[in-house]
Chain A
């Protein structure tokens, strides 16, 4: 009884899937799916050699500081960094006093309540504060940015495939819409107010090119601030904001794996040892 029922159920599912397949295959052949503009023109991120790649890679503190400077002078006008606190900057090599000064001089102030009147007010951030947001809420952010909310950048490099290279590619990837794109997809012309960028998922994004000229920031360490350099630096900085414990993780991993290799080797020897008599008898 079970087997007859199973046979009928199996025949139904397998048969109907076969029929669905034939329908699908017929449609596929008679009306092949049209290539989309994203399929043809979207590009995978460029390759960049970052210092933190590979199992033993480490952050370059100088680069992180430069990247932070780019974030501070360019990105932070529109993008929040809400999961990062000023105190976290000590990991970039700043000392306590420097962090305190950075927080105090931050252009955007931390919202607070006036202790005398209870009304909303602002104050200078302190190291314990997270980076204050440039806009009070998403509505304000959208209103100020052509209806597109600038995303928070704390986790950006983990929220995209190959995130570090993605950030770099996106910043350096703005270009004219290729002629062959317009020839093939005449309707896909970049709308007014958007910017063509083949590294962005749907090719047109609201953010205007943020880094446009060499020397847009002035590095204290004498590094030449080319657009390429600034883009790499800010991508490295945002990798750190997304994964601040990267170095701890790899260090702990190395110790753990070495320990486990020895322990497993011993366990194998003990296993062979205990089974020795059974193997011999057999």
Chain B
């Protein structure tokens, strides 16, 4: 900055003075820079989910009213959640498939909790572009593999909600959940 040409003999010795004065200017500007960055942090953080949104980040679901073969649609983190009790036949159909032939290889065991193989809990969000697949509601089209069918671009999921046909790249996502009792789960 401006100090160089005018630093004759200000510090203890001339040369030291130059460096000390430049150092102060650099330090002042750097300090202001650090301050500006520190201010930006809350400005960014305010766009993260607020406390009330986070408070709804887990959902309890009562399973007692769901009969085998039935499914319900509920919400988890403001998105649809499919909870389905599979029939013996549906479980058998899912187990029949060799996972290595699948686009996203997974067995039904891997997608359900140990000993609760009949409870298939998945997000109701097509892994292609995020539409809500049909099949959870009474009488809805379940597609040719008897699971879920996405009407947007024709992705078909089987009875383990695995992608079998259509453009979707992945199986329907299984969220984190645990059984809090025999008839209730806590998702999230």
Contacts and interface: CB of A to CB of B under 8 A. Distances in A.
Are any A and B Cβ atoms less than 8 Å apart in their complex?
yes
B51 A277 contact: no
B52 A128 contact: yes
Contact of A128 (B6, B24, B29, B55): B55
Contact of A273 (B5, B21, B31, B52): B21
Given A267-B28, A269-B24, A276 B10 contact: yes
Contact of A263 (B35, B51, B52, B55): B35
B6 A277 contact: yes
Contacts of A276: 3, 6, 10, 21
A266 B32 CA distance: 9
Nearest to A260: B35
A132 interface: no
Size class of B's contact patch?
20 to 34
B90 to A, nearest CB: 26
A262 B28 CA distance: 9
Interface in A250-282: 259-260, 262-263, 266-267, 269-270, 273-274, 276-277, 280
A85 interface: yes
Contacts of B3: 273-274, 276-277
B38 A259 contact: yes
A195 interface: no
A258 to B, nearest CB: 12
A262 B31 contact: yes
A66 interface: no
A263 B31 CA distance: 6
Nearest to B10: A276
B35 A127 contact: no
B56 interface: yes
Contacts of B38: 259
Size class of A's contact patch?
10 to 19
Contacts of A267: 28, 31-32
B32 to A, nearest CB: 6
A87 interface: yes
Contacts of B2: 274, 277
Interface string B1-25: 1110110001000000000010011
B27 interface: yes
Contact of B28 (A85, A127, A269): A269
Contacts of B55: 85, 87, 127-128
A125 to B, nearest CB: 12
B28 A270 contact: yes
B32 A274 contact: no
Interface in A26-64: none
Contacts of B1: 274
Contact of B24 (A259, A260, A266): A266
Contacts of A127: 55
A122 B8 CA distance: 83
Nearest to A275: B2
Interface string B36-52: 00100000000000011
A97 to B, nearest CB: 13
Contacts of A259: 35, 38
Contacts of A128: 52, 55-56
A273 B27 CA distance: 12
A42 to B, nearest CB: 39
Nearest to A270: B28
Nearest to B24: A269
A274 B25 contact: yes
Contacts of B28: 263, 266-267, 269-270
A255 to B, nearest CB: 9
Interface of A: 85, 87, 127-128, 259-260, 262-263, 266-267, 269-270, 273-274, 276-277, 280
Interface of B: 1-3, 5-6, 10, 21, 24-25, 27-29, 31-32, 35, 38, 51-52, 55-56
25 contacts: A85-B52, A85-B55, A128-B52, A128-B55, A259-B35, A259-B38, A260-B35, A263-B31, A266-B24, A266-B31, A267-B31, A269-B24, A270-B24, A270-B27, A270-B28, A270-B29, A273-B3, A274-B1, A276-B3, A276-B6, A276-B10, A276-B21, A277-B3, A277-B5, A280-B6
Q: When A and B form their complex, which 10 residue pairs have the shortest distance between CB atoms, in order from nearest?
A: A277-B6, A270-B28, A128-B55, A266-B28, A263-B31, A270-B25, A269-B24, A273-B21, A87-B55, A267-B28
